[in-house]
């Protein structure tokens, strides 16, 4: 801001997290950003590692699967799966809102809660059978 010529003194600031009462729409909004950043950094790093390991050969691939099956690796994978679905469902909600729809308070809140429930259900639907198979 300091580099702008004649910065206005009292421009409105972005709403700050601490001054609002939390609601599902607000949680979903900040989760969209956090899951997006997690997917961009950890998700894409894993994707590159996985594809490179497949191309590199058996040893590299075994290293990857060993890390993925490690308890910490599973936490990361399950977390990224949830982040993927949360970001995807929240993204669909944003596409709907981009058309100007769904801004009524109750509708907006309901869509927000649906993305939270949906991402949990989809994550469980994938990982409960997978973890069941591992045990």
Partner 1 sequence: MSVGDSATPLGKARGLGSAREGGEHWLAERVTSAALLLLGAWLIASLLFLPELDRRTVAEWLAAPSGAVPMALFVIAAFIHALDGMKVVVDDYVHDEGNRFALNTLLLFLAVGGASLALFALGRIAFGGAA
Residues that bind partner 1 (CB under 8 A): 1, 3, 14, 33, 36-37, 39-40, 43-45, 47-48, 51-52, 54-58, 61, 65, 84, 88, 91-92, 95, 98, 126
Closest CB to partner 1 among residues 47, 117: 47
For 128, other C-beta atoms within 10 Å of its C-beta total 10
3-state secondary structure (DSSP) of residue 29: helix
The CB-of-81 to partner 1 minimum distance in angstroms stands at 9
The CB-of-61 to partner 1 minimum distance in angstroms stands at 4
Phi, psi (deg, nearest 5) at residue 107: -60, -45
Residues 6+ apart with CB under 8 A from 22: none
For residue 109, give Cα distances in angstroms to 33, 42, 115.
Answer: 18, 29, 10
Closest CB to partner 1 among residues 99, 104: 99
Closest CB to partner 1 among residues 105, 135: 135
The CB-of-52 to partner 1 minimum distance in angstroms stands at 5
The CB-of-55 to partner 1 minimum distance in angstroms stands at 4
User: Is residue 60 within 8 Å of 52, Cβ to Cβ?
Assistant: yes
């Amino acid at each position: 801001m300091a580099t702008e010529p004649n910065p206005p003194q009292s421009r409105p600031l972005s709403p700050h997290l601490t001054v609002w009462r939390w609601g599902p729409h607000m949680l979903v909004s900040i989760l969209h950003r956090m899951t997006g950043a997690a997917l961009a950094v950890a998700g894409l790093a894993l994707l590159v590692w996985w594809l490179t390991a497949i191309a590199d050969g058996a040893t590299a691939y075994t290293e990857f699967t060993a890390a993925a099956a490690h308890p910490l690796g599973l936490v990361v994978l399950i977390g990224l799966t949830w982040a993927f679905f949360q970001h995807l469902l929240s993204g669909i909600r944003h596409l709907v809102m981009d058309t100007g729809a769904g801004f009524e308070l109750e509708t907006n809140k309901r869509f927000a809660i649906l993305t939270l429930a949906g991402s949990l259900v989809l994550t469980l639907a994938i990982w409960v059978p997978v973890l069941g198979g591992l045990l």
